């Protein structure tokens, strides 16, 4: 497993934000943490990133317990809503930021920034400032900035929440394609079931701080194991959108 949570608990002033959370994500997978607002998704990402620590339980990266390792040493790239681009830096400088922190050489930084500008199809836009970009372009830059130092794990918290519906759909397909191309293990948080079903190869359904079910999108749709999952997942909608195959022997099909 690239990343593993084992019986993780976390409370804020007596409020249980994580309840005995256990799951693992294999190397190269794109996993979605899916659940309603307040179900504890961001809390989990923050603990993986080292921005919060669990009250009990373990977090492992490649089999090593990282509970006491500072976030900056965990090899994690973040695309969080509250980690917006640096407004007074150009696109290229935003992407270079993590590499400068690592004190990489000038030429290496330049080459890596060009490579990433190409990856996000923004080769000509390196000198622009964030305010000169669309919302979708900004999120692409945030993605490139997170990837620049070659992290072993990418965490994305509702990366498309602030973007309008049509572009959001294009952008998430784009993101899936790029993540597969780069081959980086990724966990993204969303409350949008359609987004999770369309993008992820593995879905972790959360409710009230606990994991309700883990499986492929198809598996979760076909075999909801709890009443919550059954209510939360709109199977017919996914069939209509062809995100999952049609059930055999279904009437009128
Ligand atoms: N720093 C904090 N202090 C107090 N309560 C918090 C804190 N962070 C999260 N919570 C609470 O924990 C619950 C889960 O929050 P969160 O993980 O952000 O959920 P989600 O990302 O699924 O919307 C919420 O009820 C939230 O109010
Ligand atoms: Mg959240």
Q: What pLDDT digit, counting tens, does each position of 201-215 carry?
A: 999 999 999 999 999
What's the gap in Å between 160 CA and the centre of ligand 2?
12
| 248 pLDDT more than 70 | no
Which residue is closest in CA terms to ligand 1's atom 18? 42
From the alpha carbon of 209, which atom of ligand 1 is closest? 14
Give residue 249's pLDDT.
43
Q: Check residues 237 and 193 and name the one with the higher pLDDT.
A: 193
Which residue is closest in CA terms to ligand 1's atom 6? 12
Give residue 247's pLDDT.
56
Give residue 207's pLDDT.
97
Which residue is closest in CA terms to ligand 1's atom 25? 38
Identify the CA nearest to 152 among candidates 90, 230, 226, 69: 69
| 81 pLDDT more than 90 | no
Per-chain mean pLDDT for the chain: 91
What's the gap in Å between 23 CA and the centre of ligand 1?
19
- Residue 34 tokens read as 């899916």
Residue list, ligand 1 pocket, CB within 6 Å: 12, 15, 17, 35, 37-43
Instruction: Give dist(CA 203, CA 196) in Å, integer.
Output: 7
| 118 pLDDT more than 90 | yes
pLDDT (tens digit per residue) in 24-57: 999 999 999 999 999 999 999 999 999 999 999 9
Q: Are 204 and 23 in contact (CB under 8 A)?
A: yes
Q: Check residues 233 and 118 and name the one with the higher pLDDT.
A: 118
Which residue is closest in CA terms to ligand 1's atom 5? 12
Share of the chain above pLDDT 70, in %: 94
Q: How confident is the model at residue 239 (pLDDT cuts 50, 70, 90)?
A: confident
Q: How confident is the model at residue 250 (pLDDT cuts 50, 70, 90)?
A: very low
Q: Name the pTM for this structure.
A: 0.92
| 252 pLDDT more than 80 | no
Q: Are 26 and 62 in contact (CB under 8 A)?
A: no
What's the gap in Å between 193 CA and the centre of ligand 2?
14
Identify the CA nearest to 47 among candidates 79, 17, 27, 26: 17
40: left (phi over 0), alpha (psi -120 to 50) or beta: left
From the alpha carbon of 157, which atom of ligand 1 is closest? 21
């Amino acid at each position: 497993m690239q990343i593993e949570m084992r019986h993780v608990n976390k409370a804020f002033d007596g409020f249980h934000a994580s309840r005995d959370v256990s799951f693992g994500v294999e190397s190269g997978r794109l996993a979605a943490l899916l659940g309603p607002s307040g179900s504890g998704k961001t809390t989990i990402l923050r603990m993986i990133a080292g921005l919060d620590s669990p009250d009990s339980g373990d977090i492992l990266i490649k089999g090593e317990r990282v509970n006491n390792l500072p976030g900056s040493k965990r090899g994690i790239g973040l695309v969080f809503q509250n980690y917006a681009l640096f407004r007074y830096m150009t696109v290229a400088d935003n992407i270079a930021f993590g590499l400068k922190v690592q004190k990489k050489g000038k030429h290496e930084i330049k080459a890596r920034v060009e490579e990433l500008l190409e990856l996000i199809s923004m080769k000509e836009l390196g000198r622009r400032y964030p305010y000169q970009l669309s919302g979708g372009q900004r999120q692409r830059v945030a993605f490139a900035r997170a990837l620049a130092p070659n992290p072993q794990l990418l965490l994305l918290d509702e990366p498309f929440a602030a973007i309008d519906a049509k572009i959001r759909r294009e952008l998430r397909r784009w993101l899936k394609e790029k993540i597969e191309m780069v081959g980086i293990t990724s966990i993204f948080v969303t409350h949008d079931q359609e987004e999770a079903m369309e993008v992820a190869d593995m879905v972790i359904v959360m409710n009230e701080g606990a994991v309700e079910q883990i499986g492929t999108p198809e598996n979760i749709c076909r075999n909801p194991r709890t009443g919550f999952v059954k209510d939360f997942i709109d199977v017919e909608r996914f069939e209509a959108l062809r995100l999952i195959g049609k059930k055999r022997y279904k009437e009128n099909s």
